[in-house]
Amino acid sequence: MSSRIELAGVGQVFQVRSDTDKQIEEFVALEGLDLTVEPGELVTIVGPSGCGKSTVLDLVSGLTRPSSGQVVVDGKVVTEPGLDRGVVFQQYTLLPWRTALGNVEFALEAKGGLSRAERTRVAREFLDLVGLPDFENRYPHELSGGMKQRVAIARSLSYQPEVLLMDEPFGALDAQTRERLQEELVQIWKRTGTTIVFITHDIDEAVFLGQRVAVMSARPGRIREVITIDLDRDAPDDVDIRSTPEFAHYRHEIWTLLRQVNRRAQLNEVNQVA
């Protein structure tokens, strides 16, 4: 039910218009990026703004193709989007004319193979899983931001993708809703065994969710370091793992790495201008 993701020597070059003479020039967004995510693993990616995190996700989802290197999911080179990979974006991407239930059913219609009644049953099951059993008849404008993201997560999980790609899905939420959804995501991940790649700006979120945290550098974007997070994920509910010394240790380690990465990116920028 879950797949390995392999990015090997991945480069991504974009054609951009230069600021000075408006000529088309090449912008190297990613270069020599290597990352493997094991089946059923939850890996978080952190890195400075603009370092190429969303670009990595676009490549795994198949929305874009790399300029060099290879992206392989479940042993197959990725060439296009597919229902084996679900994506949850930062912005809410629900269909406004469909209810919460209708939005989840929509994904199941796209997948095919289920009767109308079965689609409704499965959609309800997944709305239940994300804690929204009583909101199936609400339209997106009648839902809070956190609820909309839950529907989007339910939609992506409902067709049981082997891989779930999440691009700062909780970025727009308040701290408490965010923590609750993080906890729910861990529970869902444990239940489904889906391989998850989760992008975030938030170090605490990266440490809390990730079995491993990949820290990216900028210009060009590549994986600077991958930290294994060894926290007790089966601790009882009333243990706040975010307050443990181990958590603080990982937070500091990643904070230090990001500071180095940011400094280097600033230096590179200065050198390029000079």
Ligand X SMILES: Nc1ncnc2c1ncn2[C@@H]1O[C@H](COP(=O)(O)OP(=O)(O)OP(=O)(O)O)[C@@H](O)[C@H]1O
Closer CB to ligand X, residue 3 or residue 55?
A: 55
Total number of residues that touch ligand X (CB under 6 A): 12
The least distance separating Mg ion from the CB of residue 201, rounded to whole angstroms, comes to 9
| Residue 64 contacts Mg ion per CB under 5 A | no
Q: Which residue is nearest to Mg ion (CB)?
A: 54
| Residue 244 contacts Mg ion per CB under 5 A | no
Helix ranges (H only) for the chain are: 53-61, 100-111, 116-129, 145-158, 175-192, 203-209, 245-273
Closer CB to ligand X, residue 27 or residue 255?
A: 27
8, 13, 54, 179: residue in contact with Mg ion (rule CB under 5 A): 54
The least distance separating Mg ion from the CB of residue 136, rounded to whole angstroms, comes to 31
Binding-site partner at residue 37 among Mg ion, ligand X, none, CB < 5 to 8 Å by type:
none
Q: In what order do the strands lie in the sheet with 212-217?
A: 85-88, 163-167, 195-199, 42-46, 212-217, 222-228
The least distance separating ligand X from the CB of residue 54, rounded to whole angstroms, comes to 3
- SS3 helix, strand, coil % of the chain, rounded to 5? 40, 25, 35
CA 107, distance to chain mean position in Å, is 19
Torsion 63-161-47-30 (CA) sign: negative
| Residue 160 contacts Mg ion per CB under 5 A | no
256-264's contacts with Cβ under 8 Å and 24+ in sequence apart are 257/215, 257/224, 257/225, 257/227, 258/46, 258/47, 258/48, 258/203, 258/215, 261/47, 261/48, 261/51, 261/215, 261/216, 261/217, 261/218, 261/224, 262/48, 262/218, 264/217, 264/218
List binders of ligand X among 12-31 (CB under 6 A): 14, 16, 27, 29
Closer CB to Mg ion, residue 29 or residue 227?
A: 29
| Residue 54 contacts ligand X per CB under 6 A | yes
For ligand X, which stretch binds (CB under 6 A), given 42-50, 110-118, 181-189, 233-241? 42-50
Closer CB to Mg ion, residue 129 or residue 199?
A: 199
Q: Hey, what are 146's tokens?
A: 């956190």
Binding-site partner at residue 67 among ligand X, Mg ion, none, CB < 5 to 8 Å by type:
none
State the residues that interact with ligand X by CB under 6 A.
Answer: 14, 16, 27, 29, 47, 49-55
State the residues that interact with Mg ion by CB under 5 A.
Answer: 54
